[in-house]
């Protein structure tokens, strides 16, 4: 069993909440996707997190990865890695601001060329990005020399607007699977019902995951649509639920080739994440909980 490369940011979040002193947490789409992959892995180091960071944060982030069974493919860009200030309002809404600006954040974006192992040592790669041309030019170069590595793209909300649809379709031709949530799908295709979104998504990629929050997810594979329920759980912190679902799906699907079974495991992994404030530790107990929870989920094929 080889590694799953997670190509997305790991950041330090500076959290400001009413009635609580400010504190920091490790976050970012890459961090949570790597946790999801690790939760469904059969061994430590299956999940390989590739992200730019700063020399001042490197030791701390490596320790964070190690505590979750994640192999680090972190590379140093400068002294300071990405930091995000998160300000919560009393109603739970939040505003996120890159501490050092968007240009600094973008400078830490991992590209396929940053993956520290050859394609032959990978079972898959997770991408989280918008439809920006330079990024996808790098993906196209990687695809040309790593055709056997399954690529899964979780769309960034920045590109899920109707005027970006043609570009999104073009980028999706380079990947094997796409993950998108309901709000993003409705916005991208200009629809307001699940059946209409499903019809539009059928032609976006060979395999599409439509994430529906506490209503579970839909696995869209050609003419087949299967609903996989969510694991009932009290959500403590919804941060990273979608990223962890997608990372877990890729980790399971790369082994089994069974998208529905992978979606069951992904739902169970996401439940472990949202039931914890911040990213949870990952060990034998958490992995066993994911396996048990996934086994209790009954998927339904939709007509």
Tens digits of per-residue pLDDT, 116-159?
999 999 999 999 999 999 999 999 999 999 999 999 999 999 99
Q: Shortest CA distance to 260 belongs to which of 229, 282, 292?
A: 229
**Which residue ranges in the chain fall short of pLDDT 50?**
none
The pLDDT value recorded for residue 303 is: 64
182 phi and psi, to 5 degrees?
Answer: -60, -45
The pLDDT value recorded for residue 75 is: 97
The pLDDT value recorded for residue 99 is: 87
Strands 224-228 and 300-302: antiparallel
The pLDDT value recorded for residue 1 is: 64
Q: Shortest CA distance to 240 belongs to which of 210, 207, 211?
A: 211
**b/e string for 162-195 if b means 16 or more Cβ within 10 A?**
eebbeebeebbebbbbbbbbbebbbbbbeeeebe
Half-sphere exposure of 165 (CA within 13 A, CB side): 14
- Decide: helix, strand or coil at residue 62: helix
What does the angle CA 295 – CA 298 – CA 303 come to, to the nearest 5 degrees?
150
What does the angle CA 188 – CA 192 – CA 195 come to, to the nearest 5 degrees?
95
Strands 47-50 and 52-54: unpaired
Side-by-side strand order, sheet with 94-98: 23-27, 11-16, 83-88, 94-98
Tokens (6 digits) for 179: 């993950």
- Decide: helix, strand or coil at residue 125: strand
Tell me the average pLDDT of the chain. 94
pTM here? 0.95
- Decide: helix, strand or coil at residue 3: strand
């Amino acid at each position: 069993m080889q590694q799953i490369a997670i190509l997305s940011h790991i950041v330090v979040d500076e959290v400001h909440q009413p009635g609580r002193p400010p504190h920091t947490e490790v976050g970012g789409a890459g961090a949570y996707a790597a946790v999801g992959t690790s939760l469904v892995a059969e061994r430590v180091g299956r999940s390989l997190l590739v992200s730019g960071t700063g020399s001042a944060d490197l030791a701390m982030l490596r320790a964070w990865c190690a505590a979750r069974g994640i192999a680090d493919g972190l590379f140093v860009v400068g002294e300071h890695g990405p930091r995000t200030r998160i300000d919560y309002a009393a109603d739970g809404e939040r505003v996120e601001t890159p501490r050092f600006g968007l240009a600094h954040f973008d400078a830490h974006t991992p590209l396929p060329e940053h993956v520290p192992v050859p394609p032959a040592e990978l079972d898959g790669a997770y991408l989280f990005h918008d439809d920006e041309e330079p990024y996808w030019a790098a993906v196209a170069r990687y695809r040309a020399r790593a055709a056997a590595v399954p690529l899964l793209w979780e769309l960034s909300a920045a590109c899920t607007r109707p005027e970006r649809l043609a570009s999104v379709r073009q980028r999706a031709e380079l990947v094997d699977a796409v993950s998108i949530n309901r709000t993003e799908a409705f916005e991208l295709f200009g629809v307001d019902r699940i059946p209409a979104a499903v019809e539009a998504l059928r032609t976006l990629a060979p395999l599409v995951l439509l994430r529906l929050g506490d209503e579970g997810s839909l696995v869209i594979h050609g003419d087949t649509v299967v609903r996989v329920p969510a694991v009932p759980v009290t959500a403590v912190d919804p941060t990273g639920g979608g990223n962890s679902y997608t990372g877990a799906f890729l980790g399971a699907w790369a082994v089994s080739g069974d998208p529905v079974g992978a979606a069951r495991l992904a739902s169970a992994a996401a439940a472990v994440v949202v039931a914890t404030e911040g990213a949870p530790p990952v060990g034998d107990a958490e992995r066993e909980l994911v396996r048990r929870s996934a086994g209790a989920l009954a998927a339904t094929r939709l007509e």
